[in-house]
Amino acid sequence: MRVYISGAAGFIGYHLARLLLDEGSIVRGMDGMTDYYDVSLKRGRLAGLMQHPGFSFAEFMLEDAARLSRDIADFRPDAIVHLAAQAGVRYSLEAPRSYLSSNIEGTFNIIEAARDAKVGHLLLASTSSVFGANTDMPYRETDKADTQVSLYAATKKATESLSHAWAHLYALPTTCFRFFTVYGPWGRPDMAPFKFTRAILAGETIDVYGHGKMFRDFTCVTDLVRAIRLLIDAIPERPASAGEIAEGDSLSPVAPWRVVNIGNGEKVALEEFIAAIEAATGKSARKHYMEMQKGDVPATWADNSLLRRLTGYRPETNIRDGMAEFVKWYRDYFRP
């Protein structure tokens, strides 16, 4: 199988590329290598991937539509997995325009290139943040998601809608997946697992938002990319009628398009998450309790039954085992 991955030097892109390469797939990666966080971490991931003979890479920005279209057309992928994006809820308050150019314009360029190349399956990364102010949990793919509370989430919801329109107009099979708080080795420095681990090992105080009363559905990256790999083969087909769509399936009645949650299906208290880091490091956290930040939500929790129905798989790494693996990687990589 030939798979094109945008954001291949990113956290999730790196792990997905490794999984596919280990299976024998041919992978073409692209990444803009932006400096949203330390580029040396991206270079480190990329160096590992470049050792695989089945991997090739190009560095350019998603906004370069002509370059992107040529790169995809020349590679002739069976599937495209679009992971590149401007990430982060909090950063969207500081640099909102970067989210419009990368997440909306860049994703539109990917969709257009996929259409032109007649790709068999386009898969797009979305986020649990699109559920926004919804309070009914666990979140189901068939729930309305019209109350986003951050620009980041709003741009991701927009890309879901864009991809649905193109799937309908051009019969482009498309799956959007909503990630739930992904963590693991090679993770992003702007996320809590990385920041908390660094601070706890250094004996520094950690900022605990929402006074520790927040909940997240933490998903280990190795589980997440296994789910993506299986979803590549779960190609949606436009139903003959709405009556053919099973209850709980987000399949569109007018397009070969669906959205799928990828999460553990468990909500973990922030204090329990911190305790997992303390157990893995052998150190106690010094905590500074704070109000919840703008654009954040108090809880996320995935219903992953559709993922199980489509693939027979569900993420299952518990937070203590997952954070122990992350802390081991962190110590090996940074040697604090």
Buried b (16+ CB within 10 A) or exposed e, 247-260: eebbbbeebbbbbb
pLDDT recorded at residue 148? 94
Contacts of 81 (CB under 8 A, 6+ apart): 3, 4, 5, 6, 13, 16, 123, 125, 228, 232
Tell me the pLDDT tens digit for each residue of 324-334.
999 999 999 99
Q: From CA 235, how far away is CA 218, in angstroms rounded?
A: 26
Residue of 152, 183, 209, 330 with catalytic role = 152
In the numeric block, which tokens belong to residue 80?
A: 């495209």
E strand or H helix at 72, and its extent? helix 65-75
Q: Does the annotation count 99 as an active-site position?
A: no
pTM of the model: 0.96
User: Do 28 and 4 contact (CB within 8 A), yes or no?
Assistant: yes
pLDDT recorded at residue 84? 97
At position 325, the amino acid (one-letter code) is E
Q: Which band of pLDDT confidence, cut at 50, 70 and 90, is reported for residue 89?
A: confident
Q: Which band of pLDDT confidence, cut at 50, 70 and 90, is reported for residue 319?
A: very high
* Mean pLDDT for the stretch of residues 159-170: 98
How many other CB atoms are there within 10 angstroms of residue 127's CB atom?
Answer: 25
Mean pLDDT score of the chain: 95
